[in-house]
Amino acid sequence: MSETEIKSIQWFPGHMAKTRRSIKENLSLVDAVVEIIDARIPLSSQNPEMGKMTAGKPRLLVLNKRDMADSNVTDRWISYFRSQGIVAVSMDCKSGKGMKQFTSALENQLLKDLLETRRAKGMSGAPVRVMIVGIPNVGKSSFINRMSGSKKAKVEDRPGVTRTKQWVKLGDRIEMLDMPGVLWPKFEDQGVARRLAFTGAIKDDIVDIETLAMLLLEYLAENYPAALKERYKMDVSGQPGKDLLELLGRKRGMLISGGEVNTERAAIMLLDEFRAGKIGSISLEMPEE
């Protein structure tokens, strides 16, 4: 099967430069950087420049949307990141699961030394300040809203401190910059582009939707055949994506005159249902790869 034609997107260099500037400007104001990523694609949803841009600051990875990912695989990712010396937690910002683990990882692992030093200096009252970053659609706003509660408590203006209105309180001890740094993923790698497209992080108008659906079906047939059987009553046994898409359309009665399958309709339905989590909790990247 040919690769999907995912055009390499030319992000306006000016746009990226602005983000870089904004992160750099605010970096000196925070104790740590929290990068939100998608638990289904923990590598593809990271910005490759993040490490460089936030150099010198401790970074915590939040694998968000864990309700949509395969929990077994997510656990393996957390262990993998740990083995690399990276503090990572998983979270579901829709329900709020994982919030306590986040706070604990931030205070007891990532910033343990800093907080101990502050305590020793009698400065334990000073809040921990964090900056939230991530590519579009990973759940940055949901994270900030969830963590700050329904009534966002803004940090009050203090003389001498500029732009305090951008900080929101998270309990007594943590303050979050209420202005997430939005970064873009890297599209040059077709595998990365494809996985971002599966999750809807790349707009469908730049990809061929039927080819994308065929690739997703091939992946699901290989890794999650039971989910295809359960949702679509599809029996899969190594068919190419084209045949899988036809089978899916037929199962759903998506026919056009002459008994042919309307593969475009079937493709749109598959991707919509996948993105809505209706096919199940599915991971698109495995740490072992």
Spell out the alpha helix ranges (H) of 233-262. 241-251
CA atoms of 265 and 252, how far apart (whole Å): 10
Start-to-end C-alpha separation, the chain = 21
**Residue 91 near residue 66, CB atoms below 8 Å:** yes
When binding is defined by CB under 6 A, the residue of 6, 50, 73, 93 that contacts ligand G4P is: 93
> Least CB distance from residue 40 to ligand G4P, whole Å?
10
Stretch that binds ligand G4P, among 12-20, 75-83, 90-98, 246-254 (CB under 6 A): 90-98
Q: Is 67 in the site for ligand G4P (CB under 6 A)?
A: yes
**According to the binding rule CB under 6 A, does residue 38 interact with ligand G4P?**
no
C-alpha–C-alpha distance, residues 215 and 195, integer Å: 10
Kind and range of the H or E run holding 177: strand 174-177
Specify which residues 37 forms β-bridges with.
63
Task: Specify the stretch interacting with ligand G4P by CB under 6 A; choose among 12-20, 73-81, 99-107, 137-145.
Answer: 137-145
Structure token pair of residue 76: 């393996």
Is 141 a binding residue for ligand G4P by CB under 6 A? The answer is yes
Are the C-beta atoms of residues 249 and 267 closer than 8 Å to each other? no
Q: According to the binding rule CB under 6 A, does residue 35 interact with ligand G4P? A: no
Q: If binding is defined by CB under 6 A, does position 101 make contact with ligand G4P?
A: no
CB 72 within 8 A of CB 78: no
Given a contact cutoff of 8 angstroms between Cβ atoms, the answer to whether 45 and 185 are in contact is yes
Which residue, 6 or 132, has its beta carbon nearer to ligand G4P?
132
Beta-bridge partner residues of 59: 33
The correct pick among 88, 138, 201, 271 for binding ligand G4P (CB under 6 A) is: 138
Q: Is 94 in the site for ligand G4P (CB under 6 A)?
A: yes
- Which window, 82-90, 134-142, 231-239, 251-259, contacts ligand G4P (CB under 6 A)? 134-142
CA 287/CA 44 separation, integer angstroms: 12
Q: Nearest approach, Cβ of 174 to ligand G4P (angstroms)?
A: 19
Smallest separation (angstroms) from ligand G4P to the CB of 260: 33
68 binds ligand G4P (CB under 6 A): yes
List contacts with ligand G4P (CB under 6 A).
Answer: 64-65, 67-68, 92-94, 134, 136-142
